[in-house]
Amino acid sequence: MRKSLLFIPANHPGMLQNVDIFEADSVIFDLEDGVALTEKDAAKDLLVSFFQHFHLKDVEKIIRIHEIHDLDIIMSHHIDTICLPKADVSSLKLLDKKLSALEKKHKLDHQINIIALIETPESILNALEIAKQPRVNGLLLGAEDLATYLGVKRTLSGIEIEFARNMVIYAAKAVGIDAIDTPFTDTTDLSGLTKDIEHAKALGMNAKACIHPNQIETVNHLFKPSKEDILYAQKILLAKQQADAQGLGAFSVDGKMVDKPIIDRAIHIINASKE
């Protein structure tokens, strides 16, 4: 389960060198908007060289591609996930096919996953179908592009993306994958970031993309389950263990009946706290 995903422009050697020190769960090496058109070839070359020499451990390596043909150059067994911009059902099917071919060609021993970047009005409305596509294990809301499509300004309260956030969350949770919130673009405003995360988390987001390393600590901290949540989850799981031992199908904790979703949530909280 991801909490923080750090965008890094793939054409910046100084930044690439330090991607693994900030404790982001995932790094998104960006070949799309973060890299000027004239720099994209150089960025792909640099990325290939980077993966040959820097063997990153304990961090998910994600590539945000600019176009599907990028994969012919950059594909390697170091890559975990592809982030597909402006994802829709047809582009995801195409990407799945392409990845299957490349996995075979490169004899990869793992499957490449996909994070679908949801950033058009149409993809918001089709979020559930997108979430159901093969390999997709996360939906990332791209609010900046979406706001442009909608013809609205981004605000601190985020009221203009409330519907989009909910759609992404409901689609992701319906199929049990990550709901990843859009980045907070003011990299100097940590209290604004905190409020933004608290709101997104209250709606159901479980992770957030970051556009600056300084945001990661706040994101990791706020998406980590609270002590109270962990204690309650431990209580639930202990009660379940006792109920199982006594052969009880139904049991209660603190006077409230505990059913499967509550048990699942408790397991999820304990796993997230370990991360």
Partner 1 sequence: MIPDGYKPFISDDHFKKESYKKIEKIYAKKEASLLASISAAFDEIPITDGMTLSFHHHYRNGDLLLNMVVEEIKKRNLKHMKLAPSSIFPVHKPLVELIKNKQVTSIFTNYISGDVADSISKGHLKDLLIMDTHGGRARAIETGDLSIDVAFIAASAADQKGNANGIDGPNPCGPLGYIYPDLYYAKHKIVVTDTFIDKLSSNDIDSAFVDYIIKVSQIGLSTGIESGTTQMTKDPVQLKIAKDTVKLIKALNLIKNGMSFQTGAGSTSIAVSHFLKEEMIAQKVQGSFASGGITKSLVNMFEHHLFQELHDVQSFDLDAVMSYKNNKHHHLMDASKYANPFYKNNIASQLDIVVLGATEVDLDFNVNVTTSSTHKLMGGSGGHSDTAYESKLTIITTNLVKSRIPFIKEHIETVSTPGTSVDVVVTERGIAINPLRTDILDHLKDSSLNILPIKTLYQKAVSLTSIPKQIEHKDRIVGLIRYRDGSIIDVIYEVKS
Question: Rule CB under 8 A: which residues touch partner 1?
Answer: 14, 17-18, 21-22, 54, 212-214, 217
209 is written with which tokens?
A: 């993309």
192-195: long-range contacts at Cβ-Cβ below 8 A with a sequence spacing of 24 or more? 192/156, 193/218, 193/219, 194/218, 194/222, 195/156
The minimum distance between CB 20 and partner 1, in angstroms, equals 9
Could you tell me the smallest distance in angstroms from the CB atom of residue 214 to partner 1? 6
Q: How far is the CB of 21 from partner 1 (least distance, A)?
A: 5
CB of 143 vs partner 1, minimal distance in Å: 23
Q: Two tokens at 248?
A: 């009880």
Residue holding tokens 């901290």? 221
- In whole angstroms, how close is the CB of 28 to partner 1 at the nearest point? 16
Contact, 120 vs 149, CB < 8 A? yes
Phi and psi angles of residue 36, each rounded to the nearest 5 degrees, phi first: -65, 150
The residue (of 22 and 223) whose beta carbon lies closer to partner 1 is 22
Q: State which H helix or E strand residue 14 sits in.
A: helix 13-17
Length of the chain: 275
| Cβ partners under 8 Å of residue 175, min gap 6 | 128, 131, 132
**Of residues 145 and 189, the one with the C-beta less far from partner 1:** 189
Q: Compare residues 52 and 242 and give the one whose CB is closer to partner 1.
A: 52
